[in-house]
Amino acid sequence: MSGVITLIKKDHATLEAVFKKLESAEPDEIPNLLRQVNELLVPHSKAEEEVVYPAIKATVPDEQDDVDDGLEEHHHVEATLKQLLASDPGAPGVDGLIAAMIGEVRHHVEEEEEEILPAFAKAASNEQLSELGSQFTEAKDRALAQLGE
């Protein structure tokens, strides 16, 4: 039940709920919502990179390119998010940058949920998925702790 794929999808849904708020936010609500995105997205991505992506590459060689693309997408989104966190929320261009970031993450999430993770689920054992779930949660907790440093 707490397999890694379930955990990843749960994070995606939580993040999507914040995106919905961000899309209709007033400028004074934006910094707090961006901080929420940061705290959800960065540890999630780091834990995928540390624990999940290497396991997928080792288990499903056909998905190696998609996983490498996914990694690039993480880095690009994180750079945009960093830029947004340092911006005045009322500044021109901020709305467009937020929309671009959300669009990129949605595309990335779709690729994970529709392609990469189903291919992995087919190839991996339930034991492996469950063990990775624990490792994913631990890696996320570590990354969240580092976020505040």
| CB 112, min distance to Fe ion, A | 5
| CB 25, min distance to Fe ion, A | 23
Hey, what are 91's tokens? 């500044």
Determine the Cα angle at 148 with ends 15 and 102, to 5°. 25
Residue 14 or 146 with smaller CB distance to Fe ion: 14
Q: In angstroms, rounded to a whole number, what is the distance separating the alpha carbons of residues 26 and 32?
A: 11
Residue 30 or 81 with smaller CB distance to Fe ion: 81
In this structure, the dihedral spanned by the alpha carbons of residues 110, 115, 118 and 124, taken in order and rounded to 10 degrees, is -130
| CB 108, min distance to Fe ion, A | 6
Residue 35 or 76 with smaller CB distance to Fe ion: 76
| CB 5, min distance to Fe ion, A | 10
Determine the Cα angle at 38 with ends 95 and 56, to 5°. 115
Residue 35 or 75 with smaller CB distance to Fe ion: 75
Residues lying near Fe ion in the complex (CB under 5 A) are found at 48, 112
Given a contact cutoff of 8 angstroms between Cβ atoms, the answer to whether 68 and 48 are in contact is no
